[in-house]
Amino acid sequence: MELGFTKANSSNLPRVDLLMMGEFLASNKDFCSVESRNVKTAVSSRPSYGDDAISYVQLKRDGNLCVVKSKICPEHKVHGKLYRVTLVVDEVNETVSVDCHDCVASQGGCKHAVAFLMWVHRRSAEPSVTSVACYWMKSKLSKVGTTIKYLTAKDLSNAKPSLPSNSVVLDKFIEEGRKRQLHNCELIKFQEDYVPDIVITFSMHKLVFKYKEKSCDTCLEKLVLTDADVKLIEDNKVKVVFGTN
């Protein structure tokens, strides 16, 4: 811990609300440029990364300013050097700035700066509790391979995805697909009224599912192909080959 700093916890972190965060992102071209279309910002701000990568949070107050420092674990090198990130909050004028000091992409607005900013914002939005959570600790990502032998996908995120219950878009898509007689769309194929193209019905895959015979001879006995079917298969080069094991 640096001189003059104290361990950060849920009771002494500065407040970073949506307006402060929005003003910072809107005034910083590295995170809102037309070229990136905010993709970098959206990916970096996800809780599944920030909550597991941020560690050793410390802070110091000097007048109106609150300086919060943290170390962030690289996402693809969990045992590599931790990146130092500094967040400065003016608690009177309600402004914020954040910088990453070790990432090679920090001059162009790296994801570690956004991840730390969003992390402080999420901690500010959490309801107050009687217990105090200390943030001076090793990150979950850094523990992988040492105290934690592995992480499952479920452990990486506490987020609960919300799926829309409105199927209007899907229904319109399926309706349009039927009008255009699409046969190469997987969504259309799983509809009850789907009728495959006649050429596809002669494919090896479809014939195996249709007859489901253990013996090749039995399958050949049931398989009936007219001259027109054979001509259609030849013209479209559909693979209908049966062999013995």
Residue 46, pLDDT score: 61
The mean pLDDT of 125-134, rounded to a whole number, is: 72
Confidence at residue 227, expressed as pLDDT on a 0 to 100 scale: 84
For residue range 200-238, list pLDDT tens digits in order.
777 777 777 777 767 777 777 777 778 887 787 777 765
Of the listed ranges 30-39, 152-161, 174-183, the one predicted with least confidence: 30-39
Determine contact, residues 119/50, Cβ cutoff 8 Å: yes
Provide the pLDDT for residue 68.
92
3 state DSSP class of 41: helix
Q: Assess whether pLDDT exceeds 50 at residue 245.
A: no
pLDDT at 158 over 70: no
Residue 198's pLDDT band (cuts 50, 70, 90): confident
**Percent helix, strand and coil across the chain, each rounded to 5?**
40, 15, 45
Mean pLDDT of the chain: 75
What letter would DSSP give residue 109? -
Task: Delimit the domains of the chain by residue range.
Answer: 6-156, 168-193, 198-245
Single out the residue of 54, 69, 68 nearest to residue 111, CA to CA: 54
Measured CA to CA in angstroms, residue 135 lies from 6, 39, 96, 119, 209 at distances of 11, 28, 20, 11, 57
Cβ 135 vs Cβ 142: under 8 Å: no
Alpha-carbon torsion, ordered 145, 150, 154, 156, to 10 deg: 10
Q: pLDDT category, 65, cuts 50, 70, 90?
A: very high
Per the structure block, which two tokens stand in for 178?
A: 């039927």
Report d(CA 19, CA 148) in Å as an integer.
38
Q: What is the largest CA-CA distance in the chain?
A: 91
Q: What is the pLDDT of residues 5-23, one digit of tens each?
A: 898 888 888 888 888 888 8
Range with the poorest average pLDDT among 38-42, 78-82, 148-152, 239-243: 239-243
**Cα distance between residue 91 and residue 93, in whole Å:** 6
Mean pLDDT for 141-167 is 63
pLDDT of residue 27: 80
pLDDT grade for 88, boundaries at 50, 70 and 90 = very high
- pLDDT, residue 243, reads 42
Residue 124 pLDDT class (50, 70, 90 cuts)? confident
Q: List the one residue out of 123, 70, 117 whose CA is nearest residue 97.
A: 117
- Report the chain's terminal Cα–Cα distance, integer Å: 70
Q: Which two tokens stand for residue 184?
A: 């190469």
Inform me whether the pLDDT recorded for 161 exceeds 50: yes
Q: Within 10 A of 168 (CB to CB), how many other CB atoms are there?
A: 8
